[in-house]
Structure 1
Amino acid sequence: MRKHKALRYKIIAAIVCSIIISVLISLIPHFFRNTYTVIISSKQIEKKSKNKTIYLIYTQMDNGTVKVFKNINSFPELKFNSQDIYGGLRINRKYKIRAYGLRIPLLSSYENIVKVQAVKPYNQWQ
């Protein structure tokens, strides 16, 4: 009987530990934040499944480096306007982008856009 109780506690402890580890892993990208000044080169919509749409934003940095961002909703960031951000971005315009996450090419992981601000106000665009 004692062996069964000990085994039960070990199983429960393993399950709790795996849940904690998976939550921590999902929150790690939120600790890596950057702000970039970029020119939007292109935009693309990728549908991964029925309910999940990923907006990819292709940009060019001031030094000529190409950088790709994803633009998805994020509950931990309380960001639910990814479609509005995507629709508001104009190609060949300069923006200041705040993003979080890590770029891991092997995993097709991109930094997620949190906030976008035009460098020149809209009424000054030509």
Structure 2
Amino acid sequence: MRKKYFYNSRHHRSFLKLKIRTVIIIIAVILAAAGTFKLIPHFFRSTYIVTIANKHTKVENSNNTYMIYTQLENGETKVFKNTNSFLELKFNSEDIYGGLRVNKKYKITAYGFRIPIFSCYENIVKAKAFSNSK
């Protein structure tokens, strides 16, 4: 009888370890998936020649999101956001926002994609005043 008790106790411990390992693996997979979803937009980069039509600041949970409304050369309108990004080592969104002037032309480099249903916008990485001489 004592052997049986020892066996059950040992079996219980290994089963508990298996449960703990499973929970840790599930948590790791969830965190990896969440991290991957944050990384995916950084692989989609585009450069645009735009004219700034308007801009404003949207405040959510004490975080500023700078919205930039533009018009492409073909007449299409396009909306960008301008926020800091640790992955891009971009911490100057306020400077970029302040430097953009309405009715001026810029060459904008951005990453991400526009998903209207989720209010996702391309994030501006660089903005440089555009001149036709280049």
Task: Mark yes or no: TM-score above 0.5.
Answer: yes
CA-CA distance at 1:69 after TM superposition: 0.1
**Higher share in helix:** 2
Partner of 1:25: 37
After TM superposition, give the deviation of residue 7 of structure 1 in Å.
Answer: 0.9
Aligned to 1:42: 54
Query: What SS class does the counterpart of residue 79 from structure 2 fall into?
Result: strand
Question: Counterpart in 1 of 2:109?
Answer: 98
Greater Cα radius of gyration, structure 1 or 2: 2
Runs of 4+ in 1 over 3 A off after TM superposition: none
Match of 1:83 among 70, 80, 94: 94
Between 1:18-27 and 1:65-74, the stretch displaced more is 18-27
1:73 to 84, 109, 133: 84
SS at match of 1:63: coil
Query: Aligned to 2:88, what secondary structure does the other structure show?
Result: coil
SS at match of 1:54: strand
Gaps of 5+ in 2: 1-11
**CA-CA distance at 1:120 after TM superposition:** 2.8
* 1:5 equivalenced with 2:17 (yes/no): yes
Q: Structure 1 stretches of 5 or more lacking a match?
A: 122-126
Tell me, yes or no, if structure 1 residue 120 matches structure 2 residue 120.
Answer: no
User: What is the aligned residue count?
Assistant: 120
Which residue of the partner structure matches residue 124 of structure 1?
none
| Counterparts of 2:131 and 2:102, CA distance in 1 | 14
Q: Give how far 1:49 is off.
A: 1.5
Distance 2:118 2:78 in 1: 16
TM-score, normalization: structure 1? Answer: 0.92
Letter in 2 for 1:44: H
Corresponding position of 1:54:
65
